[in-house]
């Protein structure tokens, strides 16, 4: 059982992830050292090494925690019919994932050059491609396909654009989701009309 002096291993892992992500956001991935992470945590480097050997290990573990629900969403969506309702449910569920991991998504956005060369970047790209493929109909007119995939990326763009806009965070989130849902609905209307 965990005591105040001996936290559970999972709690320590999460704490390391949170502090590392904060430092990556503050100073950039490249400029953050394991020593700085250990200092912010008030532990020795050896204690940090017990959980993670490198910064990339920390970042990969954060991304792995994030991609697990994305992969679960992809698995669920692949077993469903490709209806408008299912596509919209994919966007609703993805909205939850996106907002629950906003710090990581901001980090990825702000450190694209670094992330591109790491395993995290490839994993994230593959996940986005899989989700985009689930939202679009390959037989649809090109404009409909673009609308469908744009719905997904509109959610990312909206999250970044609205962070500097005054307003209730839940209201912002609802507005972003509304735009994404509307894009997918327009794509379906395009297919039906075409």
Whether the model clears a pTM of 0.85, i.e. scores above it, the answer is no
DSSP bridge partners of 6: 3
Domain map (residue ranges) of the chain: 9-53, 63-193
Tell me which of 5 and 180 has the higher pLDDT.
180
- Residue 141 burial (10 A CB sphere; 0-12, 13-18, 19+): middle
pLDDT tens across 33-47, in order?
999 999 999 998 888
Assigned CATH for 63-193:
1.10.357
pLDDT tens across 121-162, in order?
888 889 999 999 999 999 999 999 999 999 999 998 898 888
**Side-chain-facing half-sphere of 75: CA atoms under 13 Å:** 6
CATH number of this structure's domain 9-53, picked from the four choices 2.40.30.10, 3.30.70.890, 1.10.10.60, 3.40.50.300: 1.10.10.60
63-193 matches 9-53 in CATH topology: no
């Amino acid at each position: 059982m965990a005591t105040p002096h001996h936290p559970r291993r999972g709690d320590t892992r999460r704490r390391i992830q949170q502090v590392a992500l904060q430092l990556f956001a503050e100073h950039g991935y490249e400029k953050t050292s394991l020593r700085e992470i250990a200092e912010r945590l008030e532990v020795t480097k050896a204690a940090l090494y017990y959980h993670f050997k490198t910064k990339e290990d920390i970042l990969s573990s954060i991304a792995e925690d994030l991609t697990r629900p994305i992969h679960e969403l992809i698995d669920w969506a692949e077993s469903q019919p490709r209806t408008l309702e299912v596509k919209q449910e994919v966007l609703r569920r993805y909205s939850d994932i996106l907002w629950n991991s906003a710090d990581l998504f901001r980090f990825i956005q702000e450190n694209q050059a670094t992330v591109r060369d790491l395993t995290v970047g490839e994993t994230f790209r593959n996940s986005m491609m899989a989700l985009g493929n689930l939202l679009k109909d390959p037989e649809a007119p090109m404009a409909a396909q673009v609308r469908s995939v744009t719905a997904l990326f509109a959610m990312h763009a909206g999250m970044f654009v609205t962070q500097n806009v005054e307003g209730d965070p839940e209201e912002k989130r609802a507005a972003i989701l509304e735009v994404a849902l509307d894009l997918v609905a327009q794509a379906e209307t395009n297919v039906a009309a075409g």
